Homo-oligomer: A and B are copies of this chain.
Amino acid sequence: MAVPTAPEPFRPASPLFLREPEIRKGVELLYFGYSHLTRAIDEGLAAKGLGRAHHRALYFIARQPGLTVSQLLALLAITKQSLGRVLTELTERGLVEMRPGDRDRRQRLLRLTAEGAALEAALFEALRERLSAAYQSAGQGAVGGFWAVLEGLVPADERAKVAALGR
């Protein structure tokens, strides 16, 4: 791939948008776009002494109040221990509270406290600013394409969970 004289792989009928340059462009934009979006909240997080891992938990709890630890674990795709640390810190700081489920008392239903909700909202505002600016500069038509490609990157089974977030 580095040398222009290398034997060309000969992909005859592949459409232009599937050639290597287009794939590389997608990989790079995804990397830089994701980086810049996540950086948008670092300052707000640092002011509270929290990290990105805390934000991810806050975000999904805000999104699905009352979800169980298992559900959160499935969304984040990390281990119980990693999540445990984060959740302990968030509850100690009074940002998250957990109550036993009434249907199944083994479960802990997670929700944000008022303070947690306020923090999540403030952080979301930073994300909103950046992403809505991007939506606007790209135009409404582009947004659908943006979603469609990203949905294609998510395996079908997980796609259901993601879609269910917008309950």
Contacts and interface: CB of A to CB of B under 8 A. Distances in A.
A158 B37 CA distance: 14
Interface residues of A, number: 67
Contact of A2 (B15, B25, B111, B148): B111
Given A65-B2, A138-B145, A145-B138, A29 B127 contact: no
A136 interface: yes
A114 to B, nearest CB: 9
A29 B144 CA distance: 12
A62 to B, nearest CB: 6
A152 B166 contact: no
A149 B155 contact: no
Contacts of A20: 128
Interface of A is mostly: helix
Count the copies.
2
A27 B132 CA distance: 11
Contacts of A141: 145
Contact of A143 (B21, B22, B120, B130): B22
A25 B148 contact: no
Contact of A17 (B56, B121, B140, B151): B140
Nearest to A15: B140
Contact of A147 (B25, B35, B128, B133): B25
Interface of A: 1-2, 15, 17-18, 20-37, 56, 59, 62-63, 65, 77, 111-112, 117, 120-121, 124, 127-128, 130-155, 158, 162, 165-166
